Structure 1
């Protein structure tokens, strides 16, 4: 039996499933997945796992989903890069901007899906993060206050028309007076509503959940630096049993202690998002971007404002790097860490996204050296889409 994916004559590979713990023989032929069969004890360095799903990603490897110069080729290149990292499903995230810019960006992403079937299969939908968020300092984060506004259903319908109904998640702050009505309409139309970039009160959060909000956008971030001990926007969301909690587990945005609290509180409702910017995958250095201006990416993948080094200007780790960080910091075992970036997210989508169909035969095969994960093969819908040279 072959044990190296670099051998082009391989037909069967023995792996350990990192979620179930079972040993499996995986059969391939002509780039297609033939079968996955349970087997007995094996001695293999390969692991297999479900494809990763990123619900919030602003860009990758120099490509920015929020730059109005974005092209369909950029979206295709970003998809190929993400597949090479084991991300088989992602939700390109368009943030607060002018109405015209948002419409243009949505159109480009949708056009890329129409041009390329693989891109269409990998993009589960678009995540619209804003402009219906809080303008308060701290809560708004890097979003431009000039374009922040109250939830507007008619405007959202224009966005959705430009996106050809591809907006599947919208992040809003429930503190606006018309938020509940907006949330109801979104949920009725099959759109997931996530709470984020907010200073909403306990009552406003509770009411938002009652009318259908089901997710917390990067909980622990997008909030003012100073909060009341209790109640506050973080505790209030953690206490809502129906809310799934997204966290950025890059070791930079939130401390390990907070990650542990979220996971203990939410358990299988804990989901990792990268919230990656275009700097994920890029070399350390000084850069200029349309959001944040002059920034510095250091060797630890921390992105900060050049003028104010203490202020973060985005994330620069991909989703698998978030998983690696959890392992490196010894917060969770491989199974739990990978579940938060795959299985938990699929469970959330199945229960909260109208008409959602879970991917079939999406698979990642990798080797592991302590906390380091080395992607060997990626399968999308039963077809090999990445094979390590």
Structure 2
């Protein structure tokens, strides 16, 4: 089926017509003018989604229908590809969540095309207060290939990204096995020293998960694990740009150091899209979502319990605070994460790409999703 869209190219600012057929972009024609002043951009890609609108991927009662609900909620915020994120939990709970997500993908083509992998964040993380973040201490453990293989089997091979702390004994051999099996390895929730971080990179780690967060409140000025990761040209970096996880000064420096190897994540929890209040979370226990959207642990307000923010809100925050341009912010939420997963991925809108597209209103102070198109099909319209 052939379809077309007219609007303004998100990168060039020029009027275009995008022609799609059977879910693929066939042609992008530059026009002299267009009645539509809306922006056309690639769909957003979020590689860290713990849950959304009351549904938690780490809930032991997670159902296949819940995965579909989150997927449709993602479309409303412009996300056309995402990684459900499973965090530190009991062996049985992790296995159950992975199995449910895998079954949902296998039984529903829309979920299958949208959930392009699963992110396992834990339980191979630091035990230390600060780097551990809100992950429950009792389940934190050393990397275990046999256990990971069993989880990957439950996920039917869908685990595509794992975040771990490389200071554990056996980490480097574990990282090498992950990379050999096609799993991307990220450093995160770590208290590793310089030597351990360098060894992890040599073993094949390629990403720093939400750099600047899940860290000690006080660090040596140098060396420390933030400088070590920031200085590495082999590590990509994911950032939560919601105004709570990192101050503007840090975002500004990080973006200058890694201008082309940084992408945005929401780190959204089930509390994203919910009203302010006190909640119970499998991640942090008793948590508070305040009226400004900050999600934190009730017993330790200095520690965040994930995010209650969408990727669209992160984009708008960067633009509103003059930390980057609209074009750059959209790239960090769409093109860049795909380039991290596939170094051969083309830049921006291009012929031959899957027609995962957004139509955005950019005449307001904030970008607003007007339409979300998944593989050529309209899946959300305001």
TM-score range, shorter chain: over 0.9
Q: Distance in 1 between matches of 2:377 and 2:359?
A: 13
3-state SS in 2 of match to 1:268: coil
Q: Which of 219, 229, 245 matches 1:227?
A: 219
3-state SS in 2 of match to 1:277: coil
Q: Which residue of 1 aligns with 2:372?
A: 378
Query: How many residue pairs get matched?
Result: 374
* CA deviation vs aligned residue, 1:32-71 (integer Å, no higher than 9, x gap): 9775422124453300101100011111111111111111
1:120 equivalent in alignment to 2:112: yes
3-state SS in 2 of match to 1:146: helix
Change (3 A) 1:271 1:126: same
Q: Distance in 1 between matches of 2:333 and 2:126?
A: 27
Contact 1:359 1:381 (C-alpha < 8 Å) held by counterparts: no
Change (3 A) 1:14 1:92: same
Contact 1:142 1:291 (C-alpha < 8 Å) held by counterparts: yes
Q: Distance in 2 between matches of 1:310 and 1:134?
A: 18
Q: Distance in 2 between matches of 1:293 and 1:20?
A: 46
Q: Distance in 2 between matches of 1:43 and 1:228?
A: 56
Q: Which residue of 2 aligns with 1:274?
A: 266
Change (3 A) 1:342 1:35: same
Q: Distance in 2 between matches of 1:127 and 1:13?
A: 33
Q: Which of 128, 135, 144 matches 1:143?
A: 135
Residue 116 (structure 1) shift: 0.9
Q: Which residue of 2 aligns with 1:346?
A: 338
Residue 352 (structure 1) shift: 9.3
Residue 115 (structure 1) shift: 1.4
Change (3 A) 1:181 1:223: same
Q: Which residue of 2 aligns with 1:81?
A: 73
Gapped runs of 5+ residues in structure 2?
Answer: 346-351
3-state SS in 1 of match to 2:94: helix
Change (3 A) 1:38 1:185: same
1:211 equivalent in alignment to 2:203: yes
Change (3 A) 1:95 1:352: farther
1:106 equivalent in alignment to 2:98: yes
Contact 2:7 2:36 (C-alpha < 8 Å) held by counterparts: yes
* CA deviation vs aligned residue, 1:61-102 (integer Å, no higher than 9, x gap): 111111111111100000011012110000000000011110
Residue 31 (structure 1) shift: 10
Contact 1:151 1:176 (C-alpha < 8 Å) held by counterparts: yes
Q: Distance in 2 between matches of 1:135 and 1:209?
A: 21
Q: Which residue of 2 aligns with 1:3?
A: none
3-state SS in 2 of match to 1:314: coil
1:21 equivalent in alignment to 2:13: yes
Contact 1:327 1:371 (C-alpha < 8 Å) held by counterparts: no
Q: Distance in 2 between matches of 1:229 and 1:310?
A: 21
Q: Which residue of 1 aligns with 2:354?
A: 360
Q: Distance in 2 between matches of 1:110 and 1:296?
A: 31
Q: Which residue of 2 aligns with 1:168?
A: 160
Matches within 5 A, 1:248-287: 248-287=240-279
Q: Distance in 2 between matches of 1:86 and 1:359?
A: 17
Q: Distance in 2 between matches of 1:183 and 1:227?
A: 26
Alpha-carbon RMSD = 2.0
Contact 1:274 1:318 (C-alpha < 8 Å) held by counterparts: yes
Higher relative contact order (CA 8 A, sep 6+): 2
* CA deviation vs aligned residue, 1:289-339 (integer Å, no higher than 9, x gap): 233222221221111233443332220101111101111111111001111
Change (3 A) 1:308 1:32: same
TM-score (norm 2): 0.93
1:321 equivalent in alignment to 2:313: yes
Q: Distance in 1 between matches of 2:359 and 2:212?
A: 32
Contact 1:31 1:384 (C-alpha < 8 Å) held by counterparts: no
Q: Which residue of 1 aligns with 2:301?
A: 309
3-state SS in 2 of match to 1:310: strand
TM-score (norm 1): 0.92
